[in-house]
Structure 1
């Protein structure tokens, strides 16, 4: 669990630094920083999405995942959790929920979180998560400076998600198969691109509802490719 603890701590530390810096930034600087983040997130998503070997499969997983997410109302539930945290900690930030949801999904949607957690749980190698901690901590500074304290609470999402995988690592070794990792990376990349478009306010995509697409990608790769 050392890697998850480090990752959680990095996000908290980065968020706190960002909150301090955010108070000193003029609104126009916050806007340009937010636009830079949005563009960078889209670029990251594109890099991941281009690893896809079969676009039709990724599309099918996104369709099935999106429909499943809508039926389960995942986005609504995640936002409700964000609202509860906002009320619980008496935050007045107008972007609390957006910061919590966007940062949470960005930090847990990717192969690095899965592979790193499995390595940490099986052989005690937390190097992947340490590297992810560095990346997440830096991005948390920029995120919290513009979206506020909601980003800090995304550390809770990372702790629960990665911690669960670490504890169940011996049962999840199959997730490290190349075909499965490629499917997760490609599908996750499209979801991350959607996060970027939301940040840039190009449209409003209910990103949380696409999370089941990752599970469909794993199932497809496990039964039909690997």
Structure 2
């Protein structure tokens, strides 16, 4: 719904306004990432998760796979506008790696509580209006990525209730929040971090807890 509204607004929004708005959203993205970091998180585990996750992500080259998928989508729409790919990749990452996506999906799988996911959907709606007005239909197509990502976490949470204790959730959220901060920097063109290649880092705390359980 947000993307449809954004498409309607797209023609009436001057480029300088959309650029400024995107920069504002980038600053909000960085704030959301910082807000997701807590003193209860395990700093050493977060560093290890980023290193191992980055190694795995580069081997798979998730960033390149997403870019190729975005380009194929652009070809399907017979558009030469690179923003379809950019919109798809950027929105997919923004909507997937945030703390609300992780914690909300975990609570849905563990407790059947969907309140966080419902709140997230409202925030995503507002964000997608802004992004679609600047980046186009690629943002709308990211809804498929959100469905798959949050669906997998929800199903996995239901199957791994014994492992997903509070400390694991806290550390997963902290890693996801760091990726959100990096995405904000990318939106401001300060950095060109391959956030997608760091996505596996979010799940390393789960394997760490599984290892601890096996050692007991």
SS in 1 for 2:57: helix
1:75 corresponds in structure 2 to 63
Describe the shift of the 1:168–1:181 C-alpha distance in structure 2 as closer, same or farther (beyond 3 A). closer
1:98-118 Cα deviation digits (max 9, x unpaired): 211111112121343344335
Task: Report the Cα offset of residue 162 of structure 1.
Answer: 2.1
Residue 44 of structure 1 corresponds to 32
Aligned-pair CA distance for 1:166 = 3.9
Corresponding residue for residue 181 of structure 2? 193
Aligned to 1:53: 41
2:59 corresponds to 1:64: no
Q: CA deviation at 1:25?
A: 0.9
* TM-score computed with the length of structure 2 as normaliser: 0.88
Deviations 1:164-186 (A, max 9, x none): 34445531334652111111110
Q: State the partner residue of 1:23.
A: 11
Check whether the contact 2:107–2:114 (CA below 8 A) recurs between aligned residues: yes
> 5+ residue gaps in structure 2?
none
Bigger shift: residues 168-177 or 62-71: 168-177
Of 146, 150, 164, which residue of structure 2 is paired with 1:162? 150
Q: 1:162 is paired with a residue of what secondary structure?
A: helix
Count of aligned pairs = 213
Q: TM-score, normalised by structure 1?
A: 0.85
- Which whole-Å CA distance do the structure 2 matches of 1:198 and 1:51 have between them? 25
Residue 100 of structure 1 corresponds to 88
What CA deviation, in whole Å up to 9, does each residue of 1:175-216 have, x standing for no partner?
Answer: 652111111110001111111111101121111100111121
- Is 1:175–1:181's contact at 8 Å kept on the other side of the alignment? no
**Using a 3 Å threshold, how does the CA distance of structure 1 residues 56 and 206 change in structure 2: closer, same or farther?**
same
Partner SS, residue 49 of structure 1: coil
Of 152, 165, 170, the residue aligned with 2:140 is 152
Separation in structure 1 between the aligned mates of residue 138 and residue 194 of structure 2, nearest angstrom: 18
Residues 196 and 52 (structure 1 numbering): CA distance in 2 closer, same or farther, change over 3 Å? farther
User: Equivalent of 2:202, from 201, 204, 214?
Assistant: 214
1:38/1:199 contact within 8 Å kept: yes
1:127-151: CA deviation from partner (whole Å, max 9, x where unpaired)? 2221111111111111111221111
Alignment map for 1:124-143 (pairs within 5 Å): 124-143=112-131
Distance 1:49 1:119 in 2: 18
1:203 aligns with 2:169: no
Task: Give the distance between the partners of 2:155 and 2:14, measured in 1 at CA.
Answer: 44
In structure 2, distance between residues paired with 1:42 and 1:52? 20
Q: Name the structure 1 match of 2:2.
A: 14
Q: Which moved more, 1:86-95 or 1:57-66?
A: 86-95
- Unaligned runs of 5+ residues in structure 1 are 1-12
**Relative to 1, partners in 2 of residues 1:115 and 1:176: Cα closer, same or farther, differing over 3 Å?**
farther
Matched residues in 1 for 2:162 and 2:146: separation? 21
